[in-house]
């Protein structure tokens, strides 16, 4: 959606999920004066005229990804004003890599009173190609700078770039509009700037984290599930770890995976790393799974420093997890017991839903606003698989997503 702001024509994006974050990003796009229309899983955006370079504080502080629009807006208008971003409270995610990269391309950037003010000096308002080295392979910084470089004057090289499939998909999207991006998916991305981009009709890739969540849900409940319309290549770190734990994963065709019941769940160690390592977004769901595996597991969270808060909530369900710093020591237990728990962030919410599926008795999970940010009707999809899961509002009535901050979901093992 941020990349569509680079194009001065019509952009159609397909396979759009029904997420709270999509709606929040749509509000940010609209605040720039750009018309858009979301119908079903298709989004139409026309950024021919961008009315303002200022993004509203109250929207950007709710959604970190909205900050990434600074690259597109700066490339199009030569000026951008973006509040510092918000999102899940999983640790510090500074924008210094974004800022230093934009400065390398000739932008003047100052951060004052929580606002990032950027402009391109000179008469033509065009960023200039540059060689950029990222201290960390940040997905957000890679994407922001790649988008900014598509309309820059000259060639930009991003070294130590993020290699995630989402970076590759964004590069493919921009190339479909006429950008000249090479090397996405490797640690070095080269972008040759062009004058303008043209209209596109583009289907986005499947969500590997949602797919991984369903694989873990099948594993923890000893169920057989067939996942369709997935990209198995994007799931290789997860599949390898599930097989190590003892869960059979069978490819069927080019875009289907079948998870089979494990004879026994075995302990395993996990260290989160940038792609192609084990994804930090799957750490919480895997913690639920390892908490019911035989033996002792160790989870080392190296990407975010505050992403183990779900451990205490899993302990409410009967897990045996000790946390020290960014390391969780997990001793497997034979059974969870249902209890009321609170989701502290997006992936923690999914982890608690998964744990509730395997718990004896009823588990009630509050904080669904986190879940709906990144999962498209997860409860309804689980219902279709036979799960006993029901979303209720603050007054106890059955609710449908999106929900208020006071809604909860009850899961019976």
Active site residues: 88
Q: Is 42 exposed, middle or buried (0-12, 13-18, 19+ CB in 10 A)?
A: middle
What is the biggest distance separating any 2 CA atoms in the chain, rounded to whole angstroms? 68
Alpha helix stretches (DSSP H) within 204-343: 208-220, 236-245, 283-290, 310-316
Return the residue matching tokens 């808060």.
Answer: 309
| Residue 45 bridge partners (DSSP) | 11, 36
- Compute the distance between CA of residue 95 and CA of residue 40 in angstroms, rounded to an integer: 33
- Compute the distance between CA of residue 131 and CA of residue 127 in angstroms, rounded to an integer: 13
- Compute the distance between CA of residue 129 and CA of residue 151 in angstroms, rounded to an integer: 9
- Compute the distance between CA of residue 245 and CA of residue 354 in angstroms, rounded to an integer: 17
| Nearest alpha carbon to residue 216 among 358, 373, 359 | 358
- Compute the distance between CA of residue 154 and CA of residue 83 in angstroms, rounded to an integer: 28
| Residue 109 bridge partners (DSSP) | 118
Buried b (16+ CB within 10 A) or exposed e, 300-320: ebebbeebbbbbebbbbbbbe
């Amino acid at each position: 959606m941020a990349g569509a702001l680079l194009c001065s024509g019509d952009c159609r994006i397909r396979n759009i999920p029904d997420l709270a974050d999509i709606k929040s990003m749509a509000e940010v796009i609209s605040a720039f004066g750009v018309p858009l229309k979301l119908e079903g899983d298709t989004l139409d955006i026309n950024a021919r005229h961008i009315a303002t370079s200022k993004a509203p504080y109250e929207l950007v502080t709710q959604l970190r990804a909205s900050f990434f629009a600074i690259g597109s807006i700066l490339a199009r208008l030569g000026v951008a004003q973006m509040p510092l971003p918000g999102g899940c409270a999983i640790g510090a995610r500074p924008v210094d890599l974004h800022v230093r990269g934009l400065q390398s391309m000739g932008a003047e950037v100052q951060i004052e009173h929580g606002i990032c003010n950027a402009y391109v000096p000179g008469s033509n308002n065009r960023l200039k190609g540059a060689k950029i080295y990222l201290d960390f392979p940040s997905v957000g910084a890679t994407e922001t700078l790649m988008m900014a470089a598509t309309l820059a004057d000259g060639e930009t090289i991003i070294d130590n770039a993020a290699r995630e499939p989402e970076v590759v998909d964004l590069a493919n999207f921009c190339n479909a509009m006429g950008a000249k991006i090479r090397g996405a998916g490797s640690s070095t991305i080269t972008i040759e700037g062009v004058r303008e981009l043209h209209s596109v009709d583009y289907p986005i890739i499947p969500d590997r984290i949602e797919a991984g969540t369903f694989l873990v849900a099948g594993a923890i409940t000893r169920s057989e599930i067939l996942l369709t319309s997935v990209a198995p290549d994007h799931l290789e770190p997860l599949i390898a770890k599930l097989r190590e734990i003892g869960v059979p994963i069978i490819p069927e065709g080019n875009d289907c995976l079948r998870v089979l019941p494990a004879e026994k769940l075995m302990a395993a160690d996990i260290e989160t790393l940038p792609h192609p390592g084990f994804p930090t977004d799957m750490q919480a769901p895997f913690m639920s799974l390892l908490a019911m595996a035989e033996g002792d597991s160790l989870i080392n969270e190296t990407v975010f420093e505050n992403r183990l808060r779900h451990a205490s909530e899993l302990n409410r369900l009967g897990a045996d997890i000790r946390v020290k710093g960014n390391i969780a020591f997990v001793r497997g237990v034979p059974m969870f017991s249902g209890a009321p728990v609170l989701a502290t962030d997006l992936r923690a919410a999914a982890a608690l839903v998964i744990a509730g599926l395997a718990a004896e008795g009823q588990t009630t999970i509050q904080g669904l606003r986190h879940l709906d940010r990144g999962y498209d009707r997860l409860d309804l999809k689980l219902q279709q698989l036979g799960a006993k899961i029901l979303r209720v509002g603050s007054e106890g009535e059955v609710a449908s997503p999106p929900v208020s901050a006071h809604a909860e979901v009850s899961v019976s093992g």
